[in-house]
């Protein structure tokens, strides 16, 4: 097990009164697809100035806040949380991303 995960679970297991909420803020980093950008991409800049360099295209977001950790796999609260997350993610992916909205389009798949 990841040592950070282990420390969080041990802390919360020994203090159930915290309700699974960590005392200190956490940092979560989300990253998107990234890739190299060749100087050949700059077709307007090079002829005009001759100044081009290679670069890297990326996107990232840092999110700070309090974390509630659902670690007890036998807990009703954990089961309800996971069920809601799976249902919401599936609904979003099926309708907003895939366009499965019925009518002329296929209907969306649902979690049962």
Q: Mean of the pLDDT values across residues 4-29?
A: 93
Shared domain for 28 and 12, answered yes or no, is yes
> pTM score, two decimals?
0.64
Please tell me whether residues 64 and 78 are part of one structural domain. Answer: no
Percentage, residues of the chain above pLDDT 90? 74
45 and 80 in one domain?
A: no
Structural domain boundaries enclosing 95: 72-112
- Indicate if 55 and 91 belong to the same structural domain: no
> How many domains does the chain contain in total?
2
Return contacts of 7-15, CB within 8 angstroms, 24+ apart.
8/69, 8/71, 9/69, 9/71, 12/69, 12/71, 13/71
Mean pLDDT over residues 54-76, rounded?
Answer: 94
Q: Are residues 15 and 62 in the same domain?
A: yes
Q: Quick one: 12 and 59 in the same domain?
A: yes
């Amino acid at each position: 097990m990841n040592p950070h995960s282990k420390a969080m679970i041990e802390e919360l297991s020994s203090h159930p009164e915290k309700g699974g909420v960590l005392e200190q803020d956490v940092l979560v980093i989300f990253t998107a697809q990234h890739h190299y950008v060749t100087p050949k991409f700059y077709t307007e800049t090079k002829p005009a100035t001759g100044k081009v360099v290679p670069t890297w295209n990326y996107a990232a977001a840092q999110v700070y806040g309090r974390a509630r950790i659902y670690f007890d796999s036998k807990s009703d609260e954990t089961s309800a949380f996971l069920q809601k997350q799976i249902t919401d993610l599936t609904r979003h992916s099926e309708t907003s991303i895939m366009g499965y909205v019925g009518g002329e389009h296929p209907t969306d798949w649902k979690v049962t």
